[in-house]
Amino acid sequence: MSSQSYGQVCDILEPICTSQDGLNNTASDPSPIPIVGTCVSLTGNRVAWYVILIDQVSTFTFQIEPTTPNDYDFAVWLNADCNNMGTPIRTNWSGAPGNTGLSIGAGNTCQGGGGSNQSDPINVVPGDEII
C-alpha cells in the first residue's frame, strides 16, 4: 500500500471536474522535483498533481487563487505520461501577487519570475488529458 495520497505524486493524480472550486494543495512532501520548461528550469517543492480529462472542443483556462501571502507556480502538460513527462507546454513561475493561471490574451507560454502571472490558454479536443 502506498503512503502517498492523491495529488502527491504524478502516478496518483487528483482528478478535477468542470469549474471545480475550493481545491486545497495538500502536498506535504518537500522533496524537490526538477521541472524543465521552455524558458525556465526550476525545482518544485510541495508539488500537487491534478488531472483533467477533456470531453469537448474548447479553450482550456484556469485560475489559481492563492491566499495571501502564498505564491503558486504551475506547469501544464498535455497528453503526457507520468513515466516520461517531457517538457510542459505551459509554465509560470511569476512572483506577481494575485491569481495565476491560463487566460485568453496573456501573450506567453512560459513565464519566469519577473513577469505576468498569466499564460496563454490551451486549445483542446475530446480525449485530451491535462496534467
Q: What is the pTM of this model?
A: 0.84
pLDDT at 12 over 80: no
- Ramachandran assignment for 101, one of left (phi > 0), alpha (psi -120 to 50 degrees), beta (any other): left
Domain boundaries, the chain: 1-20+32-131
* pLDDT for the residue 2: 42
Here the cell at position 103 is 487566460
* Residue whose grid cell is 495571501: 68
Burial of 74 (0-12, 13-18, 19+ CB in 10 A): buried
Answer yes or no: are the C-beta atoms of 35 and 76 closer than 8 Å: no
Report pLDDT digits (tens) over 70-128: 888 899 999 998 888 889 999 999 888 899 999 999 999 999 888 899 999 999 999 99
The answer to whether 114 and 62 are in contact (CB under 8 A) is no
pLDDT band of residue 67 (cuts 50, 70, 90) is confident
